Structure 1
């Protein structure tokens, strides 16, 4: 691994966060369109996206660009990778319109599922990234500085309670922020905690669990309770809480070849259970999609849920 590459990757993320609160250079309004026409309750819990569903296709595009420069190799290829990072840092990464529309649809579905249960959420004036990637890639000093900025952002807006929509954001806010941002005193819950009793518009699918939800955030059984009407196909090894394979993330921006190999193994396991696979995490979606090669169809969990039946 080229040290110059890691340095440039860190600079890319930090500089982008400073410019737009987003970890990659993209349209600063990328994460805002889903809120159009939706009511916001000033006294309700904040429905916080951390932009992750909208960033998923941006991450995919960035990894595709960087992978061509051999970011995992040393020597000349490693130096090319550092040049690539600088180049990507100057570009505006534009995801496909259909992927942005899909992210909008997922977030609006979560909003409606909560509304059906009487939870009137507050929508922020802008969506900002949590900084999870900095922490997960080991850029601890930079993460600590950014976390304090995010904590201040929430405090200035009087945020007391947050409902998260993905495992990386939930884990970083609940388990990590209190250690790095002493003033961060916000109640954290997940949209999953509120949507029991939904219908499921798909049958016989496999579940790909988020490692964070299943093993560190105690949502493994809850997710199965939510998805049980769809009669998911389970296997004690392939979908077991402690034995299910990883998607390969979030190392795709450092070791894209390793992430792809891990994801390919996971796709192979899941394809033995069903052609349809339900994921709970945008990072899992990105990595499994890159390795799918037509073997599986990926569905975000909110996409297959219908209106409450009770």
Structure 2
């Protein structure tokens, strides 16, 4: 991962162009008072799924060498080796476009960053704090400061957690005003989906105080969200298994399937608001449920 971050500022070796493909044709400027910071997480989902598939097929003793070899591949070859289906690439780009569309509909003016760096969240979440601090300081913070960026709109819980909790703990005041896109959405149209179950992001629900943000937006869109004290409770709901996929993909997939089992008892429409949850649950849904991102529901894309 460090090799890839040093090479192209992304946690897996893919072409950097995949991060900005979503913005084509939307007329969003490349500079402005506020920027949308995707951290390329949604856009990487198809490649993460392909990468996880390769890792799961390898015996445990071969995982280290496999990851090391892939991290040294040039981006263009890695993209071929990982072979994400075009439909998956289009789907995740559509999710980011849906988020941007919601912001535009609500009168939010923002720019995007074609060459934005990954936040480094995975380094921190895997316990590599020293590597995270070095990367965040020299790459992410340097990027924002060199461009005079002061206002940042995040679109996923991992990046939001890094910018609002983790990095300030290490570096103090970052000089950034960070807001999540859900906090800027005041009005939404009636959704096509009428009844769903929410799979909560652990970060949004337990650590960032944003558990109700997406519930309120769904209610405004006329969507009933089915709740259960054990399946969707703040302290009892399960993780999607995504955080361990880079270490033990088989375990990650088993956790995801258990989560699908529980969620499917409440609804066959599962709403997520996190790209890692989207990746892990959709990869393991087995056709039993339809995994929808919040932005897809709120824009009527799904």
Provide TM-score, normalisation by structure 2. 0.91
The equivalent residue for 1:176 is 166
Question: Of the candidates 115, 118, 123, which is equivalent to residue 112 of structure 2?
Answer: 123
Q: Is the 8 A contact 2:106 2:186 kept in 1?
A: no
Give the superposition deviation at 1:27. Answer: 1.5
The equivalent residue for 2:124 is 135
1:232 match: secondary structure: strand
Q: Does 2:207 align with 1:225?
A: no
Q: Does 2:298 align with 1:268?
A: no
Give the superposition deviation at 1:32. Answer: 1.1
Q: Does 2:203 align with 1:212?
A: yes
Q: Flag structure 1 segments of 5+ consecutive residues without an equivalent.
A: 1-12, 72-77
Give me the whole-angstrom Cα distance separating, in 2, the residues matched to 1:103 and 1:69: 27
The equivalent residue for 1:25 is 13
The equivalent residue for 1:279 is 272
The equivalent residue for 2:45 is 56
Give me the whole-angstrom Cα distance separating, in 2, the residues matched to 1:221 and 1:120: 25
The Cα offsets for residues 140-196 of structure 1, whole Å up to 9 and x where unpaired, read as 111111010210001011110110000011001110111334462211110010113
2:195 match: secondary structure: coil
1:292 match: secondary structure: coil
Give the superposition deviation at 1:250. Answer: 1.1
Q: Is the 8 A contact 2:214 2:294 kept in 1?
A: no
Question: Of the candidates 63, 66, 69, which is equivalent to residue 55 of structure 2?
Answer: 66
The equivalent residue for 2:22 is 34
Matches within 5 A, 1:282-297: 282-297=275-290
Question: Of the candidates 128, 142, 149, which is equivalent to residue 152 of structure 1?
Answer: 142
Q: Does 2:181 align with 1:191?
A: yes
Q: Does 2:6 align with 1:15?
A: no
Give the superposition deviation at 1:289. Answer: 2.1
Q: Flag structure 2 segments of 5+ consecutive residues without an equivalent.
A: none
Q: Does 2:45 align with 1:45?
A: no
Give me the whole-angstrom Cα distance separating, in 1, the residues matched to 2:57 and 2:90: 27
Give me the whole-angstrom Cα distance separating, in 1, the residues matched to 2:173 and 2:213: 31
Give me the whole-angstrom Cα distance separating, in 2, the residues matched to 1:181 and 1:150: 12
Q: Is the 8 A contact 2:30 2:113 kept in 1?
A: no
The Cα offsets for residues 77-111 of structure 1, whole Å up to 9 and x where unpaired, read as x1x22221233222513422112211221111111
Q: Mean alpha-carbon deviation: is it higher for 248-257 or for 47-56?
A: 248-257
2:198 match: secondary structure: strand
Q: Does 2:66 align with 1:84?
A: yes
The equivalent residue for 1:10 is none
1:86 match: secondary structure: helix
Alpha carbons of 1:62 and 1:305: their partners in 2 closer, same or farther (altered >3 Å)? same
Give me the whole-angstrom Cα distance separating, in 2, the residues matched to 1:210 and 1:96: 26
Give the superposition deviation at 1:54. Answer: 0.6
Provide TM-score, normalisation by structure 1. 0.89
Alpha carbons of 1:83 and 1:36: their partners in 2 closer, same or farther (altered >3 Å)? same
Give me the whole-angstrom Cα distance separating, in 2, the residues matched to 1:188 and 1:94: 34
Give me the whole-angstrom Cα distance separating, in 1, the residues matched to 2:85 and 2:197: 27
Q: Is the 8 A contact 1:62 1:88 kept in 2?
A: no
RMSD of Structure 2 on Structure 1 (CA):
1.6
Alpha carbons of 1:155 and 1:217: their partners in 2 closer, same or farther (altered >3 Å)? same
Q: Is the 8 A contact 1:147 1:181 kept in 2?
A: no
